Amino acid sequence: MSVAVQLDRTELASVDETIGAQADLLSSQLQAMSEALFPPSSQKVLRRFTSGEAAKLIGVSDSTLRKMTLAGEGPQPQTTSNGRRLYTLSDINAIRRFLAQSTRGRDALEFVPHRRPHEHLQVLAVTNFKGGSGKTTTSAHLAQYLALQGYRVLAIDLDPQASLSALLGVLPEVDVGSNQTLYAAIRYDEEKRPLADVIRSTYFDGLDLVPGNLELMEFEHTTPRALTAGNSTGGTIFFARIAAALDEVAERYDVVVIDCPPQLGFLTLSGLCASTSMVVTVHPQMLDVSSMSQFLLMTRDLLGVVKEAGGDLKYDFVRYLLTRFEPQDAPQTKVAALLRNLFDDHVLTNPMVKSAAVSDAGLTKQTLYEIGRENLTRSTYDRAMESLDAVNAEIESLIRKAWGRP
């Protein structure tokens, strides 16, 4: 029986049955496509980096890496038949640690930028009220960029749709079971677990993940009941629960990147209250800006209530990031100019330019940092990477400034 006939027949059923049938159909098709790209026995593996890429990431010359290889210092790269040296991200981080201990005249932080004891954990929420603003793409690329620079990063998927988890190689419907999301660490009953129990390593050395799935919606349902009953389990009110969970693992990380849901519920509020900084993604079109205006007004009102209840809302920075920006599009340019006039330095200098390279990488659930230059049109890839690196480097500089670093 054809799919079309199946769907026609469901029109005779009730709407919940119709939607359920279509959801099952789409889910099974997506799973089949995913298994074709990534068989169940396989796991995502990060590509190796050329010696030129590795040298740039570490902050040394290619000749320095060559000398280290000849001297047998540090991890030895894979050498191809034509003599190219290839390094894993784990190799690169090992070389960073080696150079931090052995190089004279340069601060160890230049190679291993981990936060020092007096520097607070940087928790960065990526958020917006409107879907399609590039929130998850921004979160994934920022988390991976920071890991590539040598930071210890925890990515938290707070969105029940769990797109960030899928991008990082964890399929929400297949790989994430009951009580294996952040909800496990912030729930109100006896099944509550330590956050460390649900953190997963990823194929990116230095980047861990707390995956998401539809289970996260339970927090939206159980929180009103807990508030009504006056029960906050151990004295932790809902908006402080994510912060309390992060305190348990804070010493393991430098930066936490939270991909927030595209709505202002208890999850988002708890995520914002746990954060030390916020990036609001906005597509520079008037409808999106109008939606963002409503988001900001609602956020102000809700956070005001949280503040009155004792919530600590001190942020190191709040920035607006223009996403999917097309410089040749006159209306977008006007909207971008409007935002810069209104918010001045609160708008990041660098926009994330719209690029087919990001879309092409997304077809195979990859990011630009994973896919490699040789797999896309090089000029398109280079333009996208230039924009992406500029945005992420600007955010990194804000994090460093919050720590008091140059």
What was the pLDDT predicted at 395? Answer: 97
For residue 118, give the amino acid letter: H
What was the pLDDT predicted at 10? Answer: 42
β-partners of residue 320 are 280, 347
Q: Which residues of 197-207 are buried (b: 16+ CB within 10 A; e: fewer)?
A: ebbbebebbbb
Let me know: does 53 contact 46? Beta carbons within 8 Å: no
Mean pLDDT over 144-153 rounds to 97
- What CA–CA distance (Å, rounded) separates 406 from 283? 31
pLDDT > 60? residue 216: yes
Mean pLDDT over 380-401 rounds to 94
pLDDT per position as a tens digit, 52-94? 999 999 999 999 999 999 998 889 999 998 889 999 999 999 9
Strand ranges (DSSP E) for 34-151?
A: 49-50, 78-79, 85-87, 122-127
What was the pLDDT predicted at 264? Answer: 80
pLDDT per position as a tens digit, 294-320? 777 877 887 777 777 766 678 899 999
Q: Smallest Cα–Cα separation from 140: which of 403, 383, 382, 362?
A: 362
| Residue 6, C-beta contacts closer than 8 angstroms, at least 6 positions apart | 21, 25
| Residue 208, C-beta contacts closer than 8 angstroms, at least 6 positions apart | 153, 154, 155, 199, 200, 201, 202, 253
What was the pLDDT predicted at 9? Answer: 47
State how far the alpha carbon of 224 is from the alpha carbons of 194, 212, 220, 230, in Å.
22, 21, 7, 10
- What CA–CA distance (Å, rounded) separates 164 from 247? 23
Mean pLDDT over 149-162 rounds to 96
More confident residue, 38 or 233: 38
**How is residue 48 annotated by DSSP?**
P
Phi first, then psi, for residue 136 (nearest 5°) are: -70, -40
Mean pLDDT is lowest, of 25-34, 332-341, 380-389, for 25-34
For residue 87, give the amino acid letter: Y
Query: Residue 274's Cα: distance from chain center in Å?
Result: 16
Place of tokens 């006939």: 5
pLDDT > 60? residue 141: yes
pLDDT per position as a tens digit, 274-293? 999 999 998 888 877 777 77
More confident residue, 258 or 264: 258
pLDDT > 70? residue 40: no
Place of tokens 């849901």: 261
Phi first, then psi, for residue 258 (nearest 5°) are: -105, 120
Q: Which two tokens stand for residue 95?
A: 């070389």
pLDDT > 80? residue 225: yes
pLDDT > 90? residue 397: yes
Phi first, then psi, for residue 77 (nearest 5°) are: -75, 160
pLDDT > 80? residue 373: no
pLDDT > 60? residue 1: no
333 class by beta-carbon count within 10 Å (0-12 exposed, 13-18 middle, 19+ buried): middle
**Three-class SS state of 78:** strand
| Residue 195, C-beta contacts closer than 8 angstroms, at least 6 positions apart | 182, 185, 210, 245, 246, 248, 249
State how far the alpha carbon of 192 is from the alpha carbons of 196, 199, 240, 293, 361, in Å.
12, 14, 15, 36, 37
- What CA–CA distance (Å, rounded) separates 367 from 168? 9
Q: Smallest Cα–Cα separation from 261: which of 163, 389, 376?
A: 163
Q: What is the mean pLDDT of the chain?
A: 86
